[in-house]
Each structure stands twice: as structure tokens, then as C-alpha cells.
Amino acid sequence: MKALIIDDEPLLRAELRRMLGAYPALEIVGEAADAESGLECIHRLRPDLLFLDVQMPEKSGLDLLAALETLPLVIFVTAHDRHAMRAFDFGATDYLLKPVNEARLRVAVLRAFAALDTGSGHSPDANEPHSDEDGTVAAGRASVEPLAEDQCVLLRDGDHTYFLPVKSIQSIEACGSYARLHLGDRRPLIPRSLNFLEQRLPARLFFRVSRNAIVNIREVTKIEPWFSGGLRATLRNGSTFDLSRRQAKLFRDSMTL
């Protein structure tokens, strides 16, 4: 994979080069200190991946992307999380805050390799999943990196983008090949299957109560016996979910001392 670093801070570029040296399959083909020279480097070097600062003198990283007809994979590297909403509108592969943490960089790099392997990331809709023949939505064939309980995620719902902690998700319900998240008074609909989300969400916090629903265990306030050996779970917001006998057994096994 060929990568290009575009950032107006020389020390940041040098530090990224050092950390990225741990990935032999990733070749740094060049650097640029501003959007104009970055654009020239992109046209000349044809990188697969950009490590791109958002806020730079004269033109921003977002201005640079808007000038491209075809987008490489993009990992934004910036000191300001307020740009995250617009960044993901461009199909960003990931979004890193300065100073860059090596463990967090590893997640971003592996995500980029997975996206390149599945052929995604080369258009403005690069972060959109594809639909399989059976109607489920996949985010590539690579293994999914589980989220941490205290990690924040970006969710796009039409013209709205939410940046929120994983643990704030109360429950998720299947809506065809999409999923509806319950976040208090918000109900964003995202193009993900429950199978994908079950892999992506931390298992210690979320439980697949049925084929059509996942719940946040910390939101459960009451568990009561239900029909045919199943259980009924009541959440803090008053919603209820029925567990089949099989899922009820799995729930008891995982929750009982």
C-alpha cells in the first residue's frame, strides 16, 4: 500500500513516518506541507492512502478532498475533533487525534488494509458497506475490530451525523438490511446488519437477545420468566425484549455467578 502524509507540522510528519515504519507493507511515497502541494503529490504519486491533516494554512484537508474526482483511502490526523462530522462525509477510513497514539494508529492502519483488500475506499462513498445477495449488509470480508466500551463512534443518519460513546446505545433493532439504534430520543437508521454490529460491539456490554435485536446489558432493569422457558427483558426506557429459550440460557450462563 502506498501512503502519502499531508500535514503542515514537520514534527508530526516525522513522527508518523517513524511509527509507520512498523508496517513493511505500507510504503510512504511522499510528504506535503499544504493542500496545494498535497494535491500535486496525489496526482503524481497516486497513493492508495492519505494521512491528512484537516486544518492547514490557506486550504484545509477537506478542501483538498473536494477537489479530487476519485478519493484514495483517507485517515484524518488532526488536533480538533470538531472536524469529525465533515471528515466522515468524505468517507474517511479513520480519524486520529494528535498526538497520535501508536495503538490507535495500528487500528487505523489495519482498517485501511482491510478496506483496500475489499476494494473499498476509492470513491466519496468509500465508507458505505455493500449488500450481500441475502440482504445482509457487510463492511468487507476482513475480521471486524471490536470497539471498546468507552470508545466514541460516528453514526451517519441521512443528513445528520452523531458522535457518541458506544455505551450510550440502549438497544438496536433490525430493519431489513439496516439497523435502528435507540439513543434516548434519537433513532438513527444505519446501513449495518445486526450480525456485523454483534461482532463490532463489545461483548461485555451488548447481548444479542434475538435474531432482530441487541440490547445494552447496563440498560436492563428487570428480567422475568416468559413463555416456553424464555425471558422478557425490560430496559430503563421502558422497552421490552423477549428472549427465546436458547438465548435465555445463554443470557443466564453469561450473567450468573
**Residue labelled with grid coordinates 475480521:** 143
Task: Tell me what pLDDT residue 138 has.
Answer: 34
In the chain, the N- to C-terminal Cα span, in Å, equals 48
Give me 218's grid cell.
447496563
Task: Tell me what pLDDT residue 134 has.
Answer: 31
Question: Which residue from 67, 239, 172 is spatially nearest to 50, judged by alpha carbons?
Answer: 67
pLDDT tens sequence across 186-221: 888 887 888 888 888 998 999 999 989 999 999 999
Task: Tell me what pLDDT residue 63 has.
Answer: 86
Cβ-based burial of 178 (10 A; exposed 0-12, middle 13-18, buried ≥19):
middle
How far apart are alpha carbons 228 and 245 in whole angstroms? 7
DSSP string of the chain, one letter each residue: -EEEEE-S-HHHHHHHHHHHTT-TT-EEEEEESSHHHHHHHHHHH--SEEEE-SS-SSS-HHHHHHT-SS--EEEEEES-GGGHHHHHHTT-SEEEESSPPHHHHHHHHHHHHHHHHTT-SSSTTTT--EE-TTS-EES-SSPPPPPPTT-EEEEEETTEEEEEEGGG--EEEEETTEEEEEBTTB--EES--HHHHHHHS-TTTEEEEETTEEEEGGGEEEEEE-GGG-EEEEETTS-EEEEPHHHHHHHHHHH--
How far apart are alpha carbons 247 and 233 in whole angstroms? 12
Task: Tell me what pLDDT residue 181 has.
Answer: 93
Task: Tell me what pLDDT residue 15 has.
Answer: 95
Give me 117's grid cell.
483488500
Show the low-confidence residues of the chain (pLDDT under 50). 120-143
Q: Residue 95: beta bridge partners?
A: 76
**Residue labelled with grid coordinates 437477545:** 209
Residue 90 φ then ψ, to 5°: -90, 10
**Residue labelled with grid coordinates 446505545:** 169
> 0.75 cut: is pTM over it?
no
Domains of the chain listed by start with CATH number: 2-127 (3.40.50.2300), 146-255 (2.40.50.1020)
Task: Tell me what pLDDT residue 86 has.
Answer: 56
Pairing between β-strand 73-78 and β-strand 160-165 as defined by DSSP bridges: unpaired
Task: Tell me what pLDDT residue 160 has.
Answer: 67
